[in-house]
Amino acid sequence: MKLDRREFARWSALAAAAAALPSTRLFAADEAGRFTGIRSGVGTFVAQGGTIGWLMTPEAAIVVDAQMPKTAPACVAGLKERRKPPFDALINTHHHGDHTGGNGVFRPVVHHIVAQENVPGLQKAAAERRGNLNEQTYADVTFANSWRLDLGREKVHADFRGPAHTGGDATVHFVNANVVHVGDLVFNRWYPFIDLPGGASVRGWISALEAIHARFDDDTVFIFGHGSSRFGITGKRQDLLVQRDFFAALLEHVEKGLKAGESRERITTATSLPGFPDHTSPGSFLSLPKCLAAAYDDLTAHSG
């Protein structure tokens, strides 16, 4: 996607806001955070920012995402009560600050930080725009399409299915537990953030969700990067299709307006999409008009 100077400045500001917002707004839980077990040694940690997933067994220790510098210490402390470090790996699902900001806190207690190969560059570029380059800790192990780790009774698979929420989204599958962390590929009934400067693709996002839905079964538990208080941060395969259908409706709305010759302003001022009454906005940053604006810019950038 090519952006002119004005569009780049606007999207850079939005990307910076995306990194800053979760530290004060998203998942405003108690300072100690909240640990919840799912099954077979896999669970979640919620405080502020993207949901942290973890595997803690006598044989293995994996952490997925690192939240923020202020909340990561509470997560580390709680995980130490479950298993003595060092842990096998910290896996970043993507580069956003509410998922990588705590990398430096985890670095002393993990053997490796793992991410899709585009993540370090995207993380650095975002940090340069925010002016906090010196606060970054990057993955030291990267992969193009897949990464595998055999931990005895448990196996961990990380996979990249192309540009979606960003240009480097990974899903993390705890194979025997049959639990999958999908990062911000699902904002469960929240209006999502579509990070175009970070490599996002709305159509790619739809394709990724369909591929994940096809890959897993009705017994699979999914961990989501974010979710509304009503629907939560874990769910089932059907929740993937709700997210997919939202994006399909988003594109349909924009394409209809483009065919009618409507202006960008008119197309992006809708306050609701038919069929999605449960979608909510936790604040002005995550809103339907911003989703529509991103979809409009994505479609028009690739038209012709």
Phi, psi angle pair for 126, to nearest 5°: -65, -40
Q: What's the pLDDT band for 1 if we cut at 50, 70, 90?
A: very low
Task: Please report whether residue 80 resides in a domain.
Answer: yes
Structure tokens at 36: 């919840």
Is the link from the previous residue into 163 a cis peptide, with omega within 30 of 0? no
Q: Give the per-residue pLDDT at 28.
A: 40
Please list the residues that pair with 197 across neighbouring strands: none
Instruction: Find the domain containing 205 and state its range.
Output: 5-237
Task: Please report whether residue 40 resides in a domain.
Answer: yes
Structure tokens at 225: 């990067």
Lowest-confidence pick of 18-32, 50-64, 85-99, 218-232:
18-32
Task: Please report whether residue 247 resides in a domain.
Answer: no
Q: Give the per-residue pLDDT at 282.
A: 86
Q: Give the per-residue pLDDT at 5.
A: 42
Q: Is residue 238 pLDDT above 70, yes or no?
A: yes
Task: Please report whether residue 279 resides in a domain.
Answer: no
Q: What's the pLDDT band for 304 if we cut at 50, 70, 90?
A: low
Counting residues of the chain whose pLDDT is more than 90, the rounded percentage is: 86
Please list the residues that pair with 128 across neighbouring strands: none
Average pLDDT over residues 75-91: 97
SS3 category, 184:
helix
Q: Give the per-residue pLDDT at 243.
A: 98
Q: In this structure, are residues 39 and 221 in contact, taking their beta carbons and an 8 Å threshold?
A: yes
Task: Please report whether residue 270 resides in a domain.
Answer: no
| pLDDT, tens only, 98-143 | 999 999 999 999 999 999 999 999 999 999 999 999 999 999 999 9
**Rounded Cα distance, 112 and 140, in Å:** 6
| pLDDT, tens only, 273-290 | 999 999 999 888 899 999
Task: Please report whether residue 300 resides in a domain.
Answer: no
CATH assignment at residue 19: 3.60.15.10
Structure tokens at 239: 């929740």
Q: What is the model's pTM?
A: 0.91
Q: What's the pLDDT band for 31 if we cut at 50, 70, 90?
A: low
Please count the structural domains in the chain: 1
Task: Please report whether residue 68 resides in a domain.
Answer: yes
